[in-house]
Amino acid sequence: MKRSVLVSLVGLFVLAGAVTASAAAPIKIGLNLEMTGGVAAYGQQGFEGIQTLQKMMKLEVLGRPVEFVLVDNKSDRVESANAAQRLIQRDHVAAIIGPMISGSMLAAGPVAEQAKVPIIGPSTTNPLTTQGRQFVFRACFIDPFQGQIAARFAYQQLGVRRAALLVDVAQDYAVGLGNFFAREFTKLGGQVVATQYMKTGDQDVSAQMTAIKAANPDILYMPNYYAEIAIAAVQARQLGLDVPILAGDGADAPELIQIGGKAVEGLMHTGFYHVKAFSNPLARQYVETYRKLYNKEPNAFGALAADSVLIILDAIKRAGSTSPEAIAKAMAQTKDLEVTTGTVTIEDGNAIKPVVIRKLVNGQWEYLATVNP
């Protein structure tokens, strides 16, 4: 999405909320999203999901309309913390959705915690983001569970015994997920024959791939974000490393295919979503509305952002209050709430959600399995 188009959309989005506000003052919900920068795809997809939800239903609670206030955190930790500060102090929001990635939530979460304003990460899987927090939540599973499922899938379903890892050390998410995978894979009886490292933005990982190829692995696990996975996959194939590639939810973005091309064909990953994985009425309505709005298939980040809205509105309704502290208390007690990705229960700030496994076939994500917690 071009920045100029984005700015126009933001203006329309806020304006739409203002127009629907009648006599009752709107309830403001902040959106701290990655609309530009390294992982802009996640923020833009999350924004689309919230717009889809707005198209599906009249968003109001306690007789008051909902107004979203969007701030672009530029995929940056400092900007994410600043965005949270701005939404709380200047816009006086009742709750915040985003950032989408764990590293940025580790910066924004403490700001919201100190101000006692609830903040929910649609896709922030690193367990540290909610650990010891009363006002920080997530709408997705956590990485220990995701890493465990990936390792079991590799060892038990794919039958591989020798794994190599390429880990982006600039991302807390990647480091954590890689460790969880390696621990479980080894526990099952597998062997991690090589672990190589890169940093976000690296364009040449041929040395790391040469070392990995020399270790003769059965599978390459890359717990990184989409651009780094795609770049590494291309160079792995160029060097003749033709083993299956497995990744985490960070692979879920159209840019993976745009950058990786044929090199990512056959890639498998653990993630949050596939249209075939969930079939409740709300999920079906979300898929139909999204397709009509955007003429493409729904994605995980949009669905989880929509889920985050539903979790907050449900909490406001049950709390009977727009006090941030009352909302946070109610969010912590969320149980069996129907959302676009099935149902969700919150425990210790974490959503109890299944893992979906997908495979890229002919440029399309093919559904393989759903693993429940």
pLDDT given for residue 159 in this prediction: 97
pLDDT given for residue 121 in this prediction: 98
C-alpha 335/C-alpha 330 separation (Å) is 10
Average pLDDT for 327-345: 95
pLDDT given for residue 15 in this prediction: 41
Q: What's the pTM value of the predicted model, to 2 decimals?
A: 0.81
pLDDT given for residue 16 in this prediction: 45
User: Mind spelling out the 3-state secondary structure of 321-337?
Assistant: CCCHHHHHHHHCCCCCE
Q: Is the pLDDT of residue 3 over 50?
A: no
Q: Is the pLDDT of residue 21 over 70?
A: no
* Average pLDDT value over all residues in the chain: 93
Amino acid identity for residue 316 in this structure: I
Average pLDDT for 47-63: 97
pLDDT given for residue 23 in this prediction: 58
> Per residue in 56-99, pLDDT tens?
999 999 999 999 999 999 999 999 999 999 999 999 999 999 99
Going by C-beta distance under 8 Å and a sequence separation of 6 or more, which residues neighbour residue 49? 290, 298, 299, 301, 302, 303, 304, 305, 306, 340
Is the CB of residue 268 less than 8 Å from the CB of residue 358? yes
pLDDT given for residue 279 in this prediction: 78
pLDDT class for 198, splitting at 50, 70, 90? Answer: very high
Going by C-beta distance under 8 Å and a sequence separation of 6 or more, which residues neighbour residue 224? 166, 167, 168, 171, 174, 198, 232, 247, 248, 250
pLDDT given for residue 18 in this prediction: 43
pLDDT class for 12, splitting at 50, 70, 90? Answer: very low
Position with higher pLDDT, 24 vs 203: 203
Q: How far apart are the first and last CA of the chain?
A: 35
Q: Is the pLDDT of residue 8 over 60?
A: no
